Structure 1
Amino acid sequence: MVTLFQALDYILFPGFWRQQVKQPVFILSNPRSGSTFLHRMLEKDQQFTYLSLWQSLFNSITIYKLVAFITRVDMSIGDPIGRIVDYLDNHFFKGWDGLHKAGLRFSEEDEFLFVSSFLAPGLVLFFPYLHEVAEIYSIDNLPEKARQKVIKNFRLSVQRHVYASGGQIFLAKNAVAGGRLGLYQEAFPDMRAIYIHSDIFKSIASSLSVFSKPWSFHSPACYKRKYESMSIIEMVRTNHQGIISHRLNFAPENAVDIQYDHLVSDPEATVNSIYQHFSLAMSDTYKASLKQDSIAAKSYKSSHVYTVEDYGFTSDEIEQYIANQSAEDQAFDEKYHELE
């Protein structure tokens, strides 16, 4: 269905494939390391455009226009469709409340642009055995012909969205994209990256909780089982390594490093440092919004405690798994410590 509407885009909106995407901004991190928190602060700045979940699933300008038209009609008759969407969100995403606020109309990662080709680590939400096809974690290693096709599709997807939004700066975030950053940079050579550095061990514990949550619904026999949980651990490990090893491929002015602890303790100062590094203007309206978000964030206290033991692992096992590195991985670690 999406392919059909994307074909219509060429007929109804033929200029989209010439749309320039200038210096898109990508937030990259370990899973569960503040990327959603930072993204949802930045997305309030009107100079950015970003993907909501439904837009990443239905990436077509024609569909965007149809949804806008249906929404206007729906609002004029009391918003019955909107209430249905809210019901579906509350039903299907309720299990993530307090972990990662999600829904069709919430901003989301660009991950679902890759799901239809089954080249997305995020598929671990649906398939507990993804570590058995580990090449999905590193699609930069695909054969060149396939890789170029993925790059073209990704570029067109972003062009569609930016065209529909009126040419704003594209803002995205992804916590599992470590194995395709080369692809990102080929699609958009002038892309800007924000790297959130965090404790990988804490990220693993939290990721086990979030990414295995749907298993309790669709594959309850797999939920909290040790073997299946290796898919999530491997996803976090390869993402972590991919991000840091690719970090050195960016010009200094196109990448900025921030610490998770600093982001949490002083969001306003962190965002100001990002804008300063990229020479982005900040409107008075957004400054006020940022200040309010910062005040609210400082009063937030998580009620969740994540442990690897809940999934059959010990801390020593996780440390040993992460430390069990090849010579290439050891070289990666040296680069990581240089950045720190």
Structure 2
Amino acid sequence: MDGMLAALGQRAVTHLGLPDRFLQPDALLHRAKAAEALAAFDGEAPFRMLLEQYRQEADLNFIGCFAARYDALRLLRNLAALKRRETSQPAVLRTPISKPIFITGLPRSGTTFLHKMLAEDPENRCPAAWETVFPLPRKPDDPPSQRIAAMGRLLAAFERMAPGFRAVHPIDAESPQECSEITAHVFRSYRFQITHHIPRYLAWLRAADHAPAYRFHRVFLQHLQHTDGRPRRFVLKCPDHVFTLGALAEAYPDARIIFLHRDPLEVLASVAGLTAILRRPFTTGANRQAIGQQVAESWLAGAEAILCADAGRLFPEDRVAHLRFRELTAAPMATIASIYERFNLPLLPDVRQRMERRIARLPHGGYGGVKHALADYGIDADAMRPRFAAYAARFNV
């Protein structure tokens, strides 16, 4: 029955021309009333390119057409609403953001686990999934619980479409969320290429100026802190920051950076498996070989970017911490304590207890339940290992 419904849906996509009808940039900009807000962050060119790639390269299925349209409209409407708030409440843009901590490094290396642990400290401000997807209420007096519930429904729907998703990437509405969801609002984000095969957009993104994305990122944090009413220490996370460290350093000259490191071949297998799961609901066919090639190329570049930042001392040494996945998962509390010591931050006894309780619920960091094989994605381990040799030697992974 599922196969029959999928075939009927794909027939509708083909005969009705849904990608061309649903994903026209001018129509979506007009509907969301977001042209001015998008232009403020040089977002129109990447927005148009992304939608063109959706129409021409992504092989969207029936669900994929609707999901891409919903996502684009949601991002545009959020952007327009944030702009209106800045106009009516100019104090938002005067909100200071001081000494944020960024967690980055190779993906699947413990970044999510560490982010969750640091979120247990009430002095750490970690943007939650629900507020990155729905940053403002529809009506001023709507409680946050409405947006939290809406995010829960979105995640439940995605879990039905992509069984096993939460087994490899545990998340709920109130979990800390990656920065790629923030920068997606101005359409300069690597998160689009994880869920879709869009090679020209990815090539453009790799060569793009990411200063506009980080300008918006900072504005987004100002909105969150203005809503909170008191300053806290932002703790942010995204592996994709490794590709844009120069723009990050320019936007946040006082940032502190945590790099997480893991055996790159374990990383590639895990990322390829997650990418296949994330693409499956939206496309007529997630090509494993193409996924493997993209993942390998991307994270070779990512490892090289980390080495370059390390060699060039892009950030002052006392504001950088390098951690390894194996140490984080084997001795999480000791590893976390080393971060607080490194950055001269107080780790209070009650915070330590909260973290220890969370660790007890996530043995070995919550990792290890799902395994993926490199060969399933056309990645030759023997050929790939030497290409990561410099990275592996420098960071002892």
Corresponding residue SS for 2:234: strand
1:317-336 to 2 correspondences below 5 Å: 317-319=383-385, 322=387, 333=390
Alignment correspondent of 2:321? 256
- Asked if 1:308 corresponds to 2:374, the answer is yes
> What is the aligned counterpart of 1:267 among 323, 326, 332?
332
Quote the RMSD (CA, aligned, Å): 2.7
- Asked if 1:286 corresponds to 2:286, the answer is no
Note if contact 2:96-2:222 (Cα within 8 Å) is conserved in structure 1: yes
Residues 298 and 101 from structure 1, CA distance in 2 versus in 1: closer, same or farther, beyond 3 angstroms?
Answer: closer
Residues 169 and 301 from structure 1, CA distance in 2 versus in 1: closer, same or farther, beyond 3 angstroms?
Answer: closer
Alignment correspondent of 2:175? 106
Note if contact 2:119-2:125 (Cα within 8 Å) is conserved in structure 1: yes
1:87-98 to 2 correspondences below 5 Å: 87-93=153-159, 94-98=163-167
Separation of aligned partners in 2, 1:119 and 1:155: 14
Residues 84 and 121 from structure 1, CA distance in 2 versus in 1: closer, same or farther, beyond 3 angstroms?
Answer: closer
> What is the aligned counterpart of 1:18 among 77, 86, 94?
94
Q: Offset of 1:337 from its aligned partner?
A: 4.4
Structure 1, 40-49 or 127-136: larger mean CA deviation: 127-136
> What is the aligned counterpart of 2:187 among 107, 113, 118?
118
Alignment correspondent of 1:176? 240
1:147-162 to 2 correspondences below 5 Å: 147-162=210-225
Q: Offset of 1:42 from its aligned partner?
A: 0.3
Separation of aligned partners in 2, 1:212 and 1:12: 43
Q: 2:196 is aligned with what amino acid? A: F
Count of paired positions: 313
For residues 145-181 of structure 1, what are the alpha-carbon distances to aligned partners after superposition, in whole Å with 9 as ceiling and x for unaligned?
Answer: xx54334222212222222232111110111221111
Alignment correspondent of 2:271? 207
Note if contact 1:176-1:235 (Cα within 8 Å) is conserved in structure 2: no
Structure 1, unpaired ranges of 5+:
75-80, 324-329
Residues 70 and 319 from structure 1, CA distance in 2 versus in 1: closer, same or farther, beyond 3 angstroms?
Answer: same
Separation of aligned partners in 2, 1:98 and 1:257: 27
Note if contact 1:162-1:169 (Cα within 8 Å) is conserved in structure 2: no
Corresponding residue SS for 1:45: coil
- Asked if 1:7 corresponds to 2:83, the answer is yes
Structure 2, unpaired ranges of 5+:
1-76
Separation of aligned partners in 1, 2:323 and 2:382: 28
Q: Offset of 1:301 from its aligned partner?
A: 6.3
Note if contact 2:126-2:236 (Cα within 8 Å) is conserved in structure 1: yes
- Asked if 1:227 corresponds to 2:296, the answer is no
Separation of aligned partners in 2, 1:250 and 1:273: 19
Q: Offset of 1:134 from its aligned partner?
A: 2.4
Residues 65 and 269 from structure 1, CA distance in 2 versus in 1: closer, same or farther, beyond 3 angstroms?
Answer: farther
Residues 25 and 83 from structure 1, CA distance in 2 versus in 1: closer, same or farther, beyond 3 angstroms?
Answer: closer
Note if contact 1:128-1:229 (Cα within 8 Å) is conserved in structure 2: no
Residues 298 and 4 from structure 1, CA distance in 2 versus in 1: closer, same or farther, beyond 3 angstroms?
Answer: closer
Alignment correspondent of 1:198? 262
For residues 184-215 of structure 1, what are the alpha-carbon distances to aligned partners after superposition, in whole Å with 9 as ceiling and x for unaligned?
Answer: 11111000001112111110000001122122
Q: 2:236 is aligned with what amino acid? A: A
Separation of aligned partners in 2, 1:199 and 1:67: 47
Alignment correspondent of 2:299? 236
> What is the aligned counterpart of 2:152 among 78, 86, 92?
86
Residues 271 and 138 from structure 1, CA distance in 2 versus in 1: closer, same or farther, beyond 3 angstroms?
Answer: farther
Q: Offset of 1:22 from its aligned partner?
A: 1.0
Separation of aligned partners in 2, 1:67 and 1:203: 43
Separation of aligned partners in 2, 1:84 and 1:149: 29
Residues 296 and 70 from structure 1, CA distance in 2 versus in 1: closer, same or farther, beyond 3 angstroms?
Answer: closer
Note if contact 1:137-1:239 (Cα within 8 Å) is conserved in structure 2: no
Percentage of matched positions with identical amino acids: 18
Q: 1:213 is aligned with what amino acid? A: I
For residues 234-265 of structure 1, what are the alpha-carbon distances to aligned partners after superposition, in whole Å with 9 as ceiling and x for unaligned?
Answer: 22222222223213211121111111111000
Residues 68 and 230 from structure 1, CA distance in 2 versus in 1: closer, same or farther, beyond 3 angstroms?
Answer: farther
Note if contact 1:25-1:170 (Cα within 8 Å) is conserved in structure 2: yes
Alignment correspondent of 2:199? 130
Q: Offset of 1:103 from its aligned partner?
A: 3.9
| Normalised TM-score (structure 2) | 0.71
Structure 1, 191-200 or 232-241: larger mean CA deviation: 232-241
Corresponding residue SS for 2:104: strand
